[in-house]
Amino acid sequence: MKVREMSFRYALSVCTQSILLLVFIIRPIYAADPVRMGCGVMTFDTVPGWGLDAEGHSQIGPTHGNVVVDRQGQIYTSSNLGVFVFTPDGKIVKRYVGKDYTSIHDMKMRNEGGQDFIYGARNKAGEGIKFEAATGAITLRFGIPSKQECGLEIEKWAPTAITVGPDHDIYLADGYASNRIFRFSKEGKYRSHFGTKGNGLKEFNTAHGMTLDDRYDPPRLLICDRNHKPKGRLVHYDLDGRYIEEVITGLGMPTSVAILGDYVAVPDLHGRIVILDKSNTIIAVLGSNTDPKTRGNFKVPHEHWKEGIFSGTHGSCWDASGNLYVQDWNSSGRIMKLVRVFHDQTEM
């Protein structure tokens, strides 16, 4: 009996060790503990491995774009390859790839007549587009306005940001070229433009991001002036292109803006997200990267990613629950989910 008992214990021990070894071997390479970041009502937990495949690899190609969310809670992110659609738990359910969808630098989601549409700014293709979120069918393209239309000789056009006004006019920022912002009708016909390149109060030094700021009545344009000296800023303009105010300065290199209620998420290319409240006061900073070798660096390889640390935050979007989806400017293609831990009672 004793021999049998010892044999059983030995076999059980070997079996247990084998199971533990197997678990270790097949454990996904992205496995990590969630990282808590932020403070107060803007406290978030990361979701390790969100958006990666079963082997822990990125599926979307190099990222230099933005993120939007549709009415069903599906997440759309743009990369150099196209647009990839995720479920809230990080599974790809759809993709729009090919020459019509490459290098969409900025996107905005709008519901029109009960249907979701995505507006996109394509910097390399030099155009603005609109397409059906559900099918990818492109319904509108608009490009460089002629000299007869706008009075300008435009040799290079590299749109970086897009948004849509309450009257359906479309605003397209030429942030990688002239730094003018062009206004088009809902049919894509040129209407007007404003701005010029420079470092003055009413000039843009890389008008990189833009959204409709509906925290105000009437709504206004909130624009990321990424390279404005000394350290980046946000500015307000009215919908006719008249300067209103400098909202906040010293943001590093603000790349885009996303609004949820009274709050604004501002990705900074140096590897952090700044959260502002209704008074445009900083109330939280997420994922601050203090490593000069990796912050603002497109070439950080996947194996050097660190949970809870961004390298080049470029785009973000809120979902209806107040969670944030964040895209890094990254050669391997990085998108992350941050789950909101606490909420303001006014949001409930």
Confidence label for 344 from pLDDT (cuts 50, 70 and 90)? confident
The pLDDT assigned to 9 comes to: 54
Look up residue 117 and give its amino acid. Answer: F
> What is the distance between the alpha carbons of residues 207 and 223, in angstroms, rounded to a whole number?
7
| pLDDT value of residue 343 | 80
203/195 Cα distance (integer angstroms): 6
Please confirm whether the linkage preceding 218 is cis (ω < 30° from 0). Answer: yes
* 59 closest CA partner among 33, 34, 35, 86: 86
User: Mean pLDDT over residues 320-344, rounded?
Assistant: 96
**Runs of H (alpha helix) within 27-103:** none
Which of 3-7, 29-33, 86-90, 254-258 has the lowest average pLDDT?
A: 3-7
Alpha-carbon torsion (336, 158, 70, 74), positive or negative: negative
Least confident of 11-25, 189-203, 230-244, 332-346: 11-25
Mean model confidence pLDDT for the chain? 92
- The model's pLDDT over 107-127, given as tens digits with 9 standing for 90+, comes to 999 999 999 999 999 999 999
What residues pair up with 76 in beta bridges, in sequence order? 68, 85
Order of strands, sheet of 161-164, starting from the edge strand that comes earlier in the sequence: 161-164, 170-173, 181-184, 190-194
Q: Which domains, from first to last, does the chain contain?
A: 29-347 (2.120.10.30)
Closest CA to 84 of 109, 102, 71: 102
d(CA 344, CA 76): 26
Q: Which residue has 């990321």 as its token pair?
A: 224
DSSP state of 57: -
Per-residue model confidence as pLDDT tens digits over 245-297 = 999 999 999 999 999 999 999 999 999 999 999 999 999 999 989 999 999 99
Those residues whose C-beta lies under 8 Å from the C-beta of residue 66, and which sit 6 or more positions away, are 77, 78, 104, 105, 106, 107, 256, 314, 315, 316, 317, 327
pLDDT of 141 over the 90 cut: yes
State yes or no: pLDDT of 6 exceeds 70.
no
**Alpha helices of the chain — where are they, by DSSP H?**
2-26, 147-150
Residue ranges with strand state E in 155-206:
161-164, 170-173, 181-184, 190-194
Residue 190's contacts (CB-CB under 8 Å, 6 or more residues apart) are 145, 149, 150, 182, 183, 184
- In this structure, are residues 65 and 121 in contact, taking their beta carbons and an 8 Å threshold? no
List pLDDT tens digits, range 233-246: 999 999 999 999 99
- pTM of the shown model: 0.90
| Secondary structure of 110-168 in HEC code, one letter for each residue | EEECCEEEEEEEECCCCEEEEEECCCCCEEEEECCCCHHHHCCCCCCCCCCEEEECCCC
Mean pLDDT across the stretch 23-40?
70
Quick check: 106 pLDDT over 90? yes
- Distance CA(48)–CA(50), nearest Å, equals 6
State the pairing for strand pair 92-97/104-112. unpaired
The pLDDT value recorded for residue 2 is: 46
pLDDT at site 12: 41
